[in-house]
Structures are given as C-alpha cells and as structure tokens.
Amino acid sequence: MQNYDKSKYFRIVLKRVLYIFYIFLEEPQDIYWLAQCLYLTAQYHRAAHALRSRKLDKLYEACRYLAARCHYAAKEHQQALDILDMEEPINKRLFEKYLKDESGLKDSTSGWEMSQSSIKSSICLLRGKIYDALDNRTLATYSYKEALKLDVYCFEAFDLLTSHHMLTAQEEKELLESLPLGKQCTEEEQELLHFLFENKLKKYNKPSETIIPESVDGLQDNLDVVVSLAERHYYNCDFKMCYKLTSVVMEKDPFHANCLPVHIGTLVELNKANELFYLSHKLVDLYPNNPVSWFAVGCYYLMVGHKNEHARRYLSKATTLERTYGPAWIAYGHSFAVESEHDQAMAAYFTAAQLMKGCHLPMLYIGLEYGLTNNSKLAERFFSQALSIAPEDPFVMHEVGVVAFQNGDWKTAEKWFLDALEKIKAIGNEVTVDKWEPLLNNLGHVCRKLKKYEENASTYSAIGYIHSLMGNFESAIDYFHTALGLRRDDTFSVTMLGHCIEMYIGDSEAYIGKRCILQY
C-alpha cells in the first residue's frame, strides 16, 4: 500500500475512533489508541495533547513512551527527553490497583500494545535516539545497550550500535557476554540470536572464520548474513569478493539498507563509475530523504575527479539529513584531502571519528593528513589507534611503515611493509594490484636503504635507481626512459637519467651517496 493510501486509511479509521471516543466514556486504553492513530497520521501535537492533558503519560508507561515519541517525531528533542525522565507519581500503584479492581484487568499492561519489558526497552531506545539527535554519543550508546539488555529482541538498538560503529571490538565482546539470552530466550532462540549477534559484530574477523551452527544451517543464504560476510571481505581488503557478494544481495533486494553502504564503498574501490552513477540516480529518485542516496551521488563525483565541489555539495546534504551518518563525513573529508586542504579534511575526519568509535578508517585518514603535514608524532599516534581497532589491515600497516621510514628506522619500516605484503598475498588473485604500488615502491626503497639491492622492485624509476646503484647504467637508462614515458614531469627520473647518461659515457663507478634524496 502506498503512503497516500495508508494516510487515507488511517484518517478514515481516525474519524471512526473519534466518533466512538465522543460517544463512550474516556477509557485510558481508548485514548491511547486514539493517540496512536493521530501519531500515524503525523498529527504529533494532537496525539501528545490527548495523552498529556489527561495526565496519562504520568500513569502509564505506554502513554509516556508514545507522548515522548510524538515530540521526538516533531523534532522537539528536549521536550521528549523531559517526558521520559520525569518522575513517576507516588499514587501510581494505587491508581493501577483501582483500575484492576474496577475493570478486572489482569495487570497494568493488559490490553496495551506492548508488554512491560518491551515498553521499558522501547523507552531506552527512544532515549538513545534523542541523545543521538542532541549529539550526546556517549549517553546514546549507553541507552541503546540498556534497551538491548531489557529486551534482547530489540533489533533496532542492536542495529544502531553496529551500523553506526558505536562500540570498539572489546566493548562489542563485553556487550555480547552481558546479554541475558538464557533468561529471555528458549534454547534454540538463544543459539540463533547469539550467532546473528556475533556474526554482525565481528566485522574485522577473517571471512573464513564464519561458522554457521547446524541448528541454523539454512541461514547461509540469508541476505543479512551474506551482507555481514561481504563486510568482512571489505575490511580485509578483498574488494572483488565483497563486490560479488553485494551484487548477489542487490540483485535479490535492490535497496537492502545494510548492503548499500558496503556496495557503494566497493564500487568506489573498484572504480566502477558507471555502475555507481546508475545506482546513485536511482536511489535519489526513489529515496530522496535517505542520506545513503546523496552519499552515493557524492562518492560518484569524488570518484570521477575534478568534481570535488559537486561531491561536497551532495555529501553535505547527506550529513544534513542525518548528522550521525559517518561514511558521508569520511567521504566529505576525502573531497578536501585530494585538494591538499589538510585542516578541513581533518575536521571532517575528526567528526567521523567521534561518530564511529568502533571503526578504524577515521583514525587512519587523520594519521595520513598529519603525515602529509610532516607531523610524524601525531601521525604515529593515530595510526596506532587505527591498528588497535584493525590490527590486520594492510593499509594501516603500510602507513605505520611509512612513519618508521620517515624516522629513519629502516628495519621497523621493512617489517611493517613485509607484514602488509603478506596480508595482501593471503587475499590471492583477487587483490587489486594498482592499489598496492606505493607499498611495493616503499618496500623497494627500504631495501635500498638496507643495501638489499637484489630484493628491490616496484616502479620503473625505483628499479632504474637500483640499477644505477649497482652500476648497470644501460639498464637504468632504459627504466628511467620508461618512467618518463609514463610521467614526463618526474623530476627524480629526469635528474637520475642525466646522471646515468654521464656515468655511462664516462664509464665511472656507481653513484652511491646521500646527495640524491627521494621525495615522497
């Protein structure tokens, strides 16, 4: 049923409810359902007034929750929070006892929409959303965790914690252990929920570590499980396998909410501009009020190059629609980083870091910007934080090695570069080779510094330089010519080519010294 039809239907129901309401006595439950109808037809202030004018929000948890929800929907966040945090009256139990005696209700929540535990969990969830809207990330996280502990089936709280990267790996582990699954679930449900929670939380684990219990063996083709597996491939830098999995999900469910950010990120990594263009425009047409739609458009303009102003415009719209949308803040930072606007890039990355405490990417990019501004101490600090979150990410390992190289610690740099290379080799043939050219190039320069000339490899200029150090001037000249054919403005290759030609003509010894310094 379309939104228009739903609205029309609710208004018809509302008129009938109002008719009954004015004829019969004002029963609390009738008023509650009246307020529900008003809420569903977006008449938030009328719904809140119907409850609060009769002080039902002070007598019933369900009414208090609905009244606060109305103010939250109207973006009156502080008023919603005040309703949730108000003290309950002393005579509440007496009033409920009176209702029980008079109406024969079995308990205070009988006939209401939710059980008492479900209402309390929903109140914690709503409180978390309000704190999120007020930019109080710490209290929002606490509220979501409490909602999940009160009702382990409160998926929305769990989804907000994971999709917004609000917890570190250790905090995720502690949360999973603290959930009262045994008290609230049957044995079969407990095993199922534990698997789903663990599968969703451990995004940095290796994809091969995903083990589906026999009792839930049929879930291997479940789209949410496949998306979680794709996310693991993404964070382990296996973008091609991630793309295969997300493409399967997108074919079955073209607008899968959890799959879209991962799929968009993979399209950017694999440079599939045409596919991203088609997807982004389709999303904007169908979901113009969803931040992921404008995030996709911004990523497209960021990918095609020389469109950074356009990218910023659309990414800014995504963050306006949802201020807590971390991926848009990271991409927004990228739009400044490619123009060497380091301060503005770091401001965006810092915002992302505050929003995505459990994600290593903001820390990695902040470290990169500090490295580019020659602040190696701060760069090292942020790389260490990124490494603590994602200890096996080859991108982070590479950057830690770069800092060690800049500090003149060749052995440490070599160790980190080789560790990163091992992680890439483990991915196999699916690795995107051109992404790792800087790693191979830097590894070659470290080997040169350690005088391991025979182990050097990578770009033509680096290989040519190694040949010049070994006295193979003819081969060096060929490599420098090739390097200049690919990039004519390579001043290092121009300088070394001239030197090698002179040495080749003069048949002199290999040039070994410190006067020629590599620039990064």
Residue corresponding to tokens 């400044």: 336
Nearest partner of 55 among 95, 101, 98, 111, judged by Cα: 95
Asked if pLDDT for residue 21 goes beyond 60, the answer is: no
What was the pLDDT predicted at 272?
A: 93
Q: Compute the distance between CA of residue 233 and CA of residue 230 in angstroms, rounded to an integer.
A: 5
State yes or no: pLDDT of 316 exceeds 70: yes
What is the C-alpha to C-alpha distance for residues 179 and 188, in angstroms, rounded to an integer?
Answer: 16
Distance CA 125, CA 145 (A): 9
255 residue type, one letter: F
Percentage of the chain exceeding pLDDT 70? 82
* Residues contacting residue 451 through CB under 8 Å, at least 6 positions apart: none
Q: Which residue has the higher pLDDT, 111 or 66?
A: 66
Token pair listed for 312: 């910023």
- Closest Cα to residue 432, out of 265, 246, 302, 239? 239
Q: What is the dihedral of CA 92, 98, 103, 108, to 10 degrees?
A: 30
pLDDT at res. 89: 45
Q: How many CB atoms lie within 10 A of CB 15?
A: 10
Secondary structure string (H, E, C) spanning 361-400: HHHHHHHHHHHHCCCHHHHHHHHHHHHHHCCCCHHHHHHH
For 282, residues 6+ apart whose C-beta sits below 8 A from its C-beta are: none
Domains plus CATH for the chain? 367-506 (1.25.40.10)
Which residues, in sequence order, are CB contacts of 208 under 8 Å at separation 6+? none
Q: How confident is the prediction for the chain on average, in pLDDT? A: 82
Mean pLDDT, rounded, for 261-266: 94
The whole-number pLDDT of residue 90 equals 41
Residue 53, classified by CB atoms within 10 Å of its CB into exposed (0-12), middle (13-18) or buried (19+), is exposed
Q: Which residue has the higher pLDDT, 288 or 490?
A: 288
Mean pLDDT in residue range 107-135: 79
What integer is the mean pLDDT of 269-285?
Answer: 93
Task: Give the pLDDT score at 94.
Answer: 45
23 pLDDT exceeds 50?
no
Mean pLDDT of 8-32: 65
Q: How much is the CA Rg of the chain, to the nearest whole Å?
A: 30
Q: What is the pLDDT of residue 12?
A: 66
Between residues 55 and 431, which one has the greater pLDDT? Answer: 55
State pLDDT tens for residues 464-517: 776 776 778 888 888 888 777 767 777 777 888 888 888 888 754 444 443 333
Of 145-149, 314-318, 380-384, 446-450, which gets the smallest average pLDDT? 446-450
Among 68-72, 139-143, 416-420, the minimum mean pLDDT is found in 416-420
Q: What is the pLDDT of residue 105?
A: 37
Are the C-beta atoms of residues 368 and 395 closer than 8 Å to each other?
A: no
Residue 251 has pLDDT above 70, yes or no: yes
* 429, 403 Cβ separation under 8 angstroms: no
Q: What does residue 515 show for φ and ψ, rounded to 5 degrees? A: -75, -25
- Long-range CB contacts for residues 279-283, cutoff 8 Å, separation at least 24: 283/255
| Whether pLDDT at 455 is above 70 | no
Using alpha carbons, list the distances in angstroms from residue 41 to 4, 70, 76. Answer: 11, 11, 18
In the prediction, which pLDDT does 91 show? 39
Longest alpha-carbon distance in the chain: 112
pLDDT at position 216 over 50: yes
Residues written for the chain: 520
Higher pLDDT pick, 17 / 110? 17
Decide which of 69 and 438 is more confident: 69
Could you give the count of Cα atoms lying within 13 Å of 293 in the half-sphere of its Cβ? 14
The pLDDT of residue 512 is 42
Asked whether residue 111 carries a pLDDT value surpassing 70, the answer given is: no
The model's confidence at residue 262, banded by pLDDT at 50, 70 and 90, is very high
Give the model's pLDDT for residue 126.
95
Q: How confident is the model at residue 6 (pLDDT cuts 50, 70, 90)?
A: low
Local structure of residue 87 (DSSP, 8 states): P
Which range is least confidently modeled, 104-113, 177-186, 220-229?
A: 104-113
SS (H, E, C) 217-281: HHHHHCHHHHHHHHHHHHHCCCHHHHHHHHHHHHHHCCCCCCHHHHHHHHHHHCCCHHHHHHHHH
